[in-house]
Amino acid sequence: MKIFTATLFLLWASIALAQENAAPKNTAQPTIMVVPFTKANDDIRKTLDADPNRRVAITKVKEAFDNRGFSTIDFVAKLKEAETRQVFTLENQTDIKTQIIEFSGADIYVEAEAIMQKSSTGNSVEVILTAYDASTATSLANKVGFSGKFYTEDFGKLTAKAVESVVEDFLNAIQAKFTEMLENGRFVAVEFSFSADSDLRMSTEIATEGLPLSDLLEVWMGENAFKGSYHIQGTSDMKVIFDQVRIPVKDASGAAYTTNKFALEIFKYCRKISKAGDVKVGVKKEVKGNTIFITLT
Amino acid sequence: MKQLFLLLIALSMFACAKRTIAPSINIISREAQGLVLVECDGKGSTRAVAETDAKISVLNRLLYDGVPDSDVTAVRLPMVEDKSKLTSQQRSDLSKLMQGEAINRYFTEVNPLGPKNGSGNQLQRFSMKINYDLFRRDLENKGIVRKFGL
């Protein structure tokens, strides 16, 4: 009886384990926030209060995401939260939108612009929808919608019509980009720099490798970026910026491959680099959204 | 000269022979969120067979080709990005969605346009309203297309 019970238990355990391994792991979804378009010196808070058409445009775009079963970060709620937490600094009053996007932690932001057009042959609204990767500023999708001309002063309705004419196509374009990410990896940015007290420079030759530090980092990036895909924005003696590095969406086990995991791989590699006198390089890593900051000492 | 004349007659008869053409699909308008009005040809010996053929043609077009020149932008891109990557399980599930009564769920209204011409396997045109939102949701639930996101 005991043997039978033990066998039954082992059988159940093995089935449960097999089911757990077979179950697909949930991929961490990117966070998306819809924001109104603003010009360089506009105060986004006042603009949004004063222009209901922008609110209509944002709401209709959010509605389209909701219809596809995808929740977005609410811009107005984040704005209020940021104000409550006194996130906005005096120095950056003219760039509040960027601060909100950073504060929200959104991976992607969708900018919605509504342009009213009045004419003797009818009024219309044109909307411009653009989706950006928040960390790399890569454009993911761009669409222009038009309401058509009507003899009406209800620009809110015209705005809604203009958004409806194009928003599903816009979402399909973003989805095509997501498919491309699954196949070719998603973008992160990596910035290497030095602490103030560091004697290292990008031109410092690492004796054990026989290469300058900047070349060493580039070689590593080529070997570890997904499908070897990366782009260098710029190199100086104090800094190297890889503005577009591809990393896989999932790791080998099917779990989400986060920016932090990649940052950890960079960290572990940099820790192995030796300066003169066989002293290991000091490393600090910081991750903000999809941007990795590595500071070497 | 006589032979040339007979050859020309024969060629013109061949040119006038009945040919089966691929069903044409026109997206007419977006009726509401997730609802689109289309006109499509279906082929069949009876109206019911032709109607089913038209429905399958329309869904296949939305699935694999999209309608790039449509003013209804929601259907411009195909729902399935690469047909060749569908697994046998996905094809089987898809086939079940497009069989029998199951396919009728996606059509809220179907009207024949004009009487059926002649007998036999002829083309007939239909106008139909498709609930493509429901179709997409079923495809997502079956894992045939990926839900929005990664």
Q: For the whole model, what pTM was predicted?
A: 0.79
Q: Which of A138, A154, A181 is the last residue of a domain?
A: A181
Digit-coded pLDDT (tens) for B37-93: 999 999 888 889 999 999 999 999 999 999 888 888 888 889 998 899 999 999 999
Judge if A56 and A175 occupy the same domain. Answer: yes
Q: Tell me, yes or no, whether A78 and A162 share the same domain.
A: yes
- Cβ–Cβ below 8 Å for A30 and B77: no
Tens digits of per-residue pLDDT, A85-112? 877 665 555 477 888 888 888 989 999 9
Distance CA A243, CA A292 (A): 10
| Residue A27: DSSP 8-state | P
Distance between CA atoms of residues B149 and A29, nearest Å: 6
Residue A38 lies in a domain: yes
Structure tokens at A11: 């059988």
Inter-chain CB proximity B150 and A29 less than 8 Å? yes
Helix axes A213-224, A259-271, angle to 10 degrees: 140
- Alpha-carbon torsion B2, B3, B6, B7, what sign? negative
Q: Specify if A16 maps to a domain.
A: no
Contacts of B146 in chain A (CB under 8 A): 175, 178-179
pLDDT for A256: 86
Q: For residue A69, which residues of chain B lie inside 8 Å, CB to CB? A: 140, 147-148
Search chain B and give the residue with CA nearest A32: B149
Render the burial of B66-102: b for 16+ CB within 10 Å, e for the rest. bbeebebbbbbbbbbeeeeebeeebeebbeebbeeee
Are residue A170 and residue A232 in the same domain, yes or no? Answer: no
Residue-wise pLDDT tens digits, B125-140 = 999 999 999 999 999 9
Give dist(CA A232, CA A219) in Å, integer.
12
Chain-centre distance for alpha carbon B19 = 18
Q: CB distance B149–A249 less than 8 Å?
A: no
A116 and A151 inside one domain: yes
Predicted local distance difference test score (pLDDT) of residue A23: 45
* A125 and A153 co-located in one domain: yes
**Separation between Cα atoms, residue B36 and residue B25, nearest integer Å:** 12
Q: What pLDDT score does A280 carry?
A: 87
Residues A220 and A271 in one domain: yes
- Give the domain-ending residue among A181, A199, A222: A181
CATH (domain of A64)? 3.40.50
Burial of residue A120, with CB atoms counted within 10 A of its CB: 0-12 exposed, 13-18 middle, 19 or more buried? exposed
Chain B residues in contact with A25 by the CB 8 A cut-off are: none
The whole-angstrom separation of Cα B123 and Cα B141 is 34
Q: Does one domain contain both A143 and A282?
A: no
Instruction: Please give the share of chain B, as a percent, with pLDDT higher than 70.
Output: 87
pLDDT for the residue B115: 65
Check whether residue A194 and residue A224 sit in a common domain.
yes
- For residue B20, pLDDT over 60 is answered with no
Out of A28, A70, A168, whose CB is closest to B73?
A: A168
Contact at CB, A30 and B133, closer than 8 angstroms: no
Is the CB of residue A162 less than 8 Å from the CB of residue A126?
yes
Q: A27 to chain B: nearest residue by CA?
A: B150
Among the partner-chain residues A27, A165, A176, the one whose CB lies closest to the CB of B150 is: A27
Does A29 contact B149 at a Cβ distance shorter than 8 Å? yes
Q: The complex's ipTM?
A: 0.76
Looking at the structure, tell me whether residues A63 and A117 fall in a common domain.
Answer: yes
Do A175 and B146 lie within an 8 Å CB cutoff?
Answer: yes
Domains of chain A: total: 2
Q: Are A209 and A232 part of one and the same domain? A: yes
Region of residue A166 (left: phi > 0; alpha: psi -120 to 50; beta: else): alpha
Contact A178 B33 (CB under 8 A): no
* A204 domain-assigned: yes
Domain boundary among A181, A198, A233: A181
Token couple for B28: 């007419």
Q: Is residue A9 part of a domain?
A: no
Helix, coil or strand: residue B41: strand
What is the reported pLDDT for A40? 74
Shortest CA gap A178–chain B (Å): 6
Nearest Cα neighbor of A108 from A129, A133, A130, A128 is A133
The residue range of the domain holding A249 is 185-296
Q: Phi and psi dihedrals of B117, rounded to 5?
A: -85, 120
Residue A6 belongs to some domain of the structure = no
Whether residue B81 and residue A176 make contact (CB cut-off 8 A), yes or no, is yes
Per the domain annotation, does A1 fall within a domain? no
Residue B59 Cα, gap to closest chain A Cα (Å):
17
Same-domain pairing of A232 and A130: no
> In terms of DSSP bridges, do strands A186-194 and A139-146 run parallel, antiparallel, or are they unpaired?
unpaired
Residue closest to B50 by CA, chosen among B137, B148, B114, B121 = B121
Of B33, B34, B148, the CB nearest to A175: B148
Q: What pLDDT is recorded for position A98?
A: 82
| Cβ–Cβ < 8 Å for A248, A226 | yes
Tell me, yes or no, whether A3 lies in a domain.
no
A177 part of a folded domain: yes
pLDDT for res A21: 46
Residues in chain A where the model's pLDDT stays below 50: 16, 18-24, 94
Nearest to B149 among A164, A168, A178 (CB): A178
- Residue A118 φ/ψ region, left for φ over 0, alpha for ψ in the -120 to 50 degree band, beta for the rest: beta
Q: What are phi and psi of A126, to 5 degrees?
A: -115, 135
**Residues in Cβ contact with A169 at an 8 Å cutoff, skipping those fewer than 6 apart:** A143, B73, B74, B76, B77
Considering only CB atoms, B74 lies closest to which of A70, A169, A178, namely A169
Q: Is the same domain home to A204 and A109?
A: no
By the CB < 8 Å criterion, does A48 face chain B?
no
Any B CB within 8 A of A281 CB: no
List Cβ neighbours of B93 (8 Å cut-off, separation of 6 or more). B142, B143, B144
